[in-house]
């Protein structure tokens, strides 16, 4: 492992393009498995584009309201709420008519139908599906224990990619517009679902062009 090209980051639910530009840029992705679950983060939410505009999909968890801190690997999903029906219904309504939905839908549907017990497992399974569809190598490994901080040359990105702050405040993602399914306005940094369903085999080319500080930065129009 080349530590000067390694990041540590939380595992996210169907991550946005900023996460995937980091995946593209770095050689090793260390997924934080021993942290405490944190609310209102991308750990259990993502954004898609629908006919009504942006829609945030949130995975409900059984430990989300607990006063006691719970390790992310132990956070259980709350299937008493009909969130699977809600998420898949929203995804299907948003992307059924996109060029690549029919080619990719079954892989995502199988994960939902499998009903993983734990949020970490759901996120990891979705991450694997996306990585395979993007034709990216498997760069991920789990942390073996929790470390409060990491020293250079390892880059600690835990809680850096946050819905509380836009990607323009960070140094990884430069939006490159592509044809989305609704309207003329381009919405950057949506869940990778948007890019995959709309652009298919061009998705990784767009991700590479979306890396900040590269020769291809912001030059690709699809």
At 14, give phi and psi (nearest 5°).
45, 65
Q: Is the pLDDT of residue 1 over 50?
A: no
Kindly report the pTM of this predicted structure. 0.91
Q: What is the pLDDT of residues 80-130, one digit of tens each?
A: 999 999 999 999 999 999 999 999 999 999 999 999 999 999 999 999 999
Give the C-alpha separation, 12 to 50, whole Å.
21
What does the buried/exposed string (b/e) look like for 191-200 if buried means 16 or more CB atoms within 10 Å of the residue's CB?
Answer: bbbbbbbbbe
Please report how many Cα atoms fall inside a 13 Å half-sphere around the Cα of residue 43, on the Cβ side: 28
Give the model confidence (pLDDT) of 42-86 as tens digits: 999 999 999 999 999 999 999 655 556 899 999 999 999 999 999
**Integer angstrom CA distances of residue 148 from 9, 55, 69, 179, 186:** 13, 33, 15, 41, 38
Percent of the chain with pLDDT over 70: 91
Confidence of residue 166 (pLDDT cuts 50, 70, 90): confident
- Ramachandran quadrant class, 165 (left: phi over 0; alpha: psi -120 to 50; beta: rest): beta
- What is the predicted pLDDT for the residue at 135? 97
The pLDDT value recorded for residue 66 is: 54
| Intra-chain end-to-end CA distance of the chain, in Å | 35
Q: How confident is the model at residue 212 (pLDDT cuts 50, 70, 90)?
A: confident
Positive or negative torsion for Cα 61, 66, 69, 74? negative
pLDDT computed for residue 221 by the predictor:
45
H-helix or E-strand spanning residue 24: helix 17-25
**Helix or strand run (H / E) with residue 88:** helix 83-95
- Max Cα–Cα distance, the chain, nearest Å: 49
Tens digit of each residue's pLDDT (9 = 90 or more) over 14-23: 999 999 999 9
What b/e string do you get for 36-46 counting C-beta neighbours within 10 Å, with b at 16 or more? ebeeebbbbbb
Predicted local confidence at residue 171, as pLDDT? 85
């Amino acid at each position: 492992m080349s530590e000067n090209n390694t990041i540590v980051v939380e595992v996210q639910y169907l991550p946005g393009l900023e996460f995937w530009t980091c995946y593209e840029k770095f050689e090793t992705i260390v997924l934080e498995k021993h942290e405490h679950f944190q609310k209102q983060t991308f750990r259990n939410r993502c954004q898609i584009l629908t006919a009504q505009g942006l829609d945030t999909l949130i995975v409900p968890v059984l430990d989300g309201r607990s006063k006691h801190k719970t390790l992310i690997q132990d956070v259980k999903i709350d299937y008493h709420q009909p969130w699977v029906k809600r998420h898949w219904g929203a995804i299907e309504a948003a992307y059924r008519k996109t060029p690549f939905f029919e080619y990719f839908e079954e892989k995502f549907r199988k994960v939902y139908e499998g009903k993983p017990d734990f949020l970490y497992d759901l996120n990891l399974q979705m991450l694997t599906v996306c990585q395979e569809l993007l034709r990216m190598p498997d760069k991920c490994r789990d942390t073996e224990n929790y470390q409060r901080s990491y020293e250079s040359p390892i880059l600690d990105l835990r809680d850096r990619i946050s819905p509380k702050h836009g990607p323009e405040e960070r140094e990884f993602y430069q939006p490159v517009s592509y044809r989305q399914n609704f309207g003329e306005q381009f919405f950057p940094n949506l869940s990778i679902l948007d890019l995959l369903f709309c652009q298919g085999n061009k998705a990784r080319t767009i991700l590479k062009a979306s890396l900040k500080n590269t020769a291809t930065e912001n030059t690709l129009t699809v």
